[in-house]
Amino acid sequence: MPRYLNRFLCLDDFETVARRRLPRQIYGYYSGAAETGRSLRANRESYAELALMPRVLIDTHARSTVTSLFGKSFTQPVGIAPMGLSALSSFRGDIALARAAAEEGALMVASATSLTPLETMGAEGATRWFQAYLPGDRERIAAMLRRVGNAGFETIVLTVDVQVPANRENNVRTGFSIPLRPSPRLLWDGVCHPRWSCGTFLRTLASGMPHFENMDAFRGPAILSRTAERNIGTRERLSWEHVKFIRDNWKGRFVIKGILSSEDTAHARNAGADGVWISNHGGRQLDSAIAPLLVLQEVTREAGEMAVLIDGGIRRGTDVLKALALGADFVFIGRPFLYASVAAGGFGVRHALRLIQAEIMRDMAMLGVNTINELSPAHVRKFAAAQFPDR
């Protein structure tokens, strides 16, 4: 592991480097949210409003962060969330994320908007989870399920909160678009960021123009194609009937991502899903959508035997433990791992995974727990109640 990584002390430290190294358009795409960014901020605020209740004089020398999900063990309860266009963050960014996760015994979910073919990621053997955007068309759904299964993936994650493209005004302001449009502004930004231009963009172009590889059963358009947005399309027709069709035609694990209500959790359970993933898409879809943490307990009560996963605003080990204590089985983090790949490729991602695991391990000792399963709502309080207890 390179020594210079020692200056990164927490996940937030990676963003400073990413902001400096990436062109304004690319960084803006990764960091931005919908409209006012209210949901993006609320995700972080929801964790800041909760306090933890420590316990002392408990022997915790044998504590472990090992966590089981769907019968498989991972070194920690934190996974890398699916992130689109990761290959624009660092050279072969999707592969860097997957390999780093595998080397650290962690979980990484491949993205439908990856620029790396899912067959390539499947052949790497580093990830067996694939996140999909599927249209309301049974023939296209069936064809995509066959493709994902043939590539060796065992779990499919259906993202359901992108019915239509969001109003991401930030992308317009920074000059980012799909398709990418060459312009003097984009050219100048590339010149001003030579490390990214030479180390990521030109190296990628040397292997051919990047395409949206995994949006459908066939190869999608190039990122510079004028038909890119039309080919990606919308998912306004996708319904619970299609979810049942997916369950009937997919023999692996099936997770539905983008759940924020107990009512939809009940629908997912009745449709035979193996898990629900509570998420507001990192604040990138419906502005003012409720923070996932605020609905975690009601979703957990409705989930029954389904696994409950969560993302959104998680940055520290204390955040992870709060979510687990309130009922989550596993948590996912996105942007910081992408920024870590900008900072140092796979080494950066591995260092980021080690940082969050070390925080979890340390915090478990101070909470007086040896295993993740020992966490419960009793470990969490509202901060106001913690500061001003009833008398």
Any idea which residues carry the catalytic annotation?
Answer: 281
List phi, psi (to 5°) of 304: 65, -125
70: tokens are 């769907």
What is the residue whose two structure tokens read 């449009």? 181
